[in-house]
């Protein structure tokens, strides 16, 4: 492990795994929560508990506003996007239900779906194109009447491919199905309006584009879904209806048993405010510019095979590549050891995506830029790849 003194020379290109470094506002908000509002939210009536409750609710409001939700109580806090996806899938799907997903999903979707398939849920997987995109005609054939839910990621964590959410929502609703969107890679990066886009359930994580700490995330439940029909994943104390031994029926308490991650939620709130202050449209435009630089730079190296769309408007600034005759582990190690460039290699917890891209079982080298990545840093990374493949 390199010493902390080397951090100033590092080029961090692993934002698809988690954003780093966090904004100072996020760190300060977490410190303030511990020092000034460290009570248990909703569990007491004293000033520290009330202060903690205000922080949690203000974060709920900020998340709701970011995603175009009018009711912040339908923002359910979870430990991460995986937790939120499991809440939606296990809470709504029953034995015999039909669910449709795509061939470029993360294991946060595929593993719970495969487990549910073993329990009687019928699963259909729409094959994707070699660049991770989806043929809407093929999707229309798969999303037939009688489908209970359609589950898709907004953008691939491997190829950066952005799927057409609005069009897929229309297909899902025409079939009488709900649309669950995994926004782990796009929340805080691409504008999302759940109502305008036709999203019924939105799973997000706090520690990537939203700039918050790990251990935060949530499920946004649009009014198109009756929350009374969602079975909670966890039952227990909520600080409300304490005289009753049955779970509250109202949101968010129905789905938020146990003491919440108050300090993490405080950091998440600061991260969301940081995103809104910079402007989500501005962040997305910067993301497109970074994607363009990654695509053009990597594609210009003859030995490199770039996986995913070449159009920067159809992808995020996450780019996967392989080098003929070189193992991805070697490329990643040399980038770190020789150039202080941090990226991720392998299967990225998404074997389905790599099968679609044709990069299974070894995987790819992944560069994932973030909101604070500079264009000149992308050129530095491209130059490093050029040097590695030619030596």
The catalytic residues are 349
Q: Do 48 and 38 touch, CB atoms closer than 8 A?
A: yes
Please compute, for residue 92, the number of CA atoms within 13 A of its CA located in the half-sphere on the CB side.
24
For 170, counting Cβ atoms within 10 Å of its Cβ (0-12 exposed, 13-18 middle, 19+ buried), the class is middle
Give the number of other CB atoms < 10 A from CB of residue 151.
27
How many Å is the Cα radius of gyration of the chain?
21
CB burial of 14-52 (b: ≥16 within 10 Å; e: otherwise) equals bbbbbbeebbebbeebbebbeeebebebbbeeeeebebb
Q: What is the largest CA-CA distance in the chain?
A: 71
Print the SS3 string covering the chain: CCCHHHHHHCEECECCCCCCCCCHHHHHHHHHHHHHCCCCCCCCCCHHHHHHHHHHHHHHHHHHHHCCCCCHHHEEEECCHHHHHHHHHHHHCCCCCEEEEECCCCHHHHHHHHHHHHCCCEEEEECCCCCCCCCHHHHHHHCCCCEEEEEEECECCCCCEECCHHHHHHHHHHCCCEEEEECCCCCCCCCCCHHHHCCCEEEEECCCCCCCCCCCEEEEECCCCCHHHCCCCCCCCCCCCCCCCCCCCCCCHHHCCCCCCHHHHHHHHHHHHHHHHHCHHHHHHHHHHHHHHHHHHHHCCCCEEEECCCCHHHECCEEEEEECCCCHHHHHHHHHHHHCEECEEECCCCHHHHHHHCCCCCCEEEEECCCCCCHHHHHHHHHHHHHHHCC
């Amino acid at each position: 492990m390199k010493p902390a003194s080397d951090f100033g020379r590092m080029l961090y290109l692993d934002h698809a795994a988690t954003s780093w470094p966090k904004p100072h506002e996020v760190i300060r908000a977490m410190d303030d929560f511990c020092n000034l509002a460290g009570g248990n939210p909703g569990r007491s009536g004293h000033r520290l508990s009330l202060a903690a409750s205000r922080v949690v609710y203000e974060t709920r409001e900020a998340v709701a506003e970011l995603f175009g939700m009018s009711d912040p109580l339908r923002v359910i806090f979870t430990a991460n996007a995986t937790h939120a996806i499991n809440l939606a899938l296990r809470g709504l799907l029953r034995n015999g239900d039909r669910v449709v997903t795509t061939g470029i999903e993360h294991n946060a979707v595929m593993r719970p779906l495969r487990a549910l398939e073993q329990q009687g849920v019928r699963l259909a997987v729409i094959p994707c194109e070699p660049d991770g995109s989806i043929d809407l005609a093929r999707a229309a054939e798969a999303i037939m009447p009688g489908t209970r839910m359609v589950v898709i990621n907004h953008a691939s964590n491997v190829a950066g491919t952005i799927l057409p959410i609005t069009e897929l929502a229309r297909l899902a609703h025409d079939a009488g199905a709900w649309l669950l969107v995994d926004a782990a890679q796009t929340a805080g990066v691409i504008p999302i309006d759940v109502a305008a886009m036709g999203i019924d359930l939105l799973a997000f994580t706090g520690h990537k584009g939203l700039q918050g700490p790990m251990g935060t995330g949530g499920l946004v439940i649009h009014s198109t879904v009756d929350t009374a029909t969602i079975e909670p994943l966890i039952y227990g104390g909520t600080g409300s209806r304490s005289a009753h031994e049955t779970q509250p029926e109202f949101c968010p308490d129905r789905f938020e048993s146990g003491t919440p991650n108050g300090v993490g939620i405080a950091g998440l709130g600061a991260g969301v405010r940081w995103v809104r202050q910079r402007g989500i449209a501005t962040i997305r435009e910067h993301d497109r510019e970074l994607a363009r630089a990654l695509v053009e730079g990597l594609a210009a190296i003859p030995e490199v095979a770039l996986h995913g769309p070449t159009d920067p408007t159809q992808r995020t600034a996450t780019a996967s590549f392989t080098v003929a005759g070189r193992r991805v582990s070697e490329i990643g190690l040399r980038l770190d050891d020789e150039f202080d460039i941090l990226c991720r290699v392998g299967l990225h917890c998404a074997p389905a995506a790599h099968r679609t891209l044709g990069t299974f079982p070894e995987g790819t080298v992944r560069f994932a830029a973030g909101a604070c990545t500079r264009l000149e840093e992308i050129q530095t990374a491209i130059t490093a790849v050029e040097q590695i493949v030619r030596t």
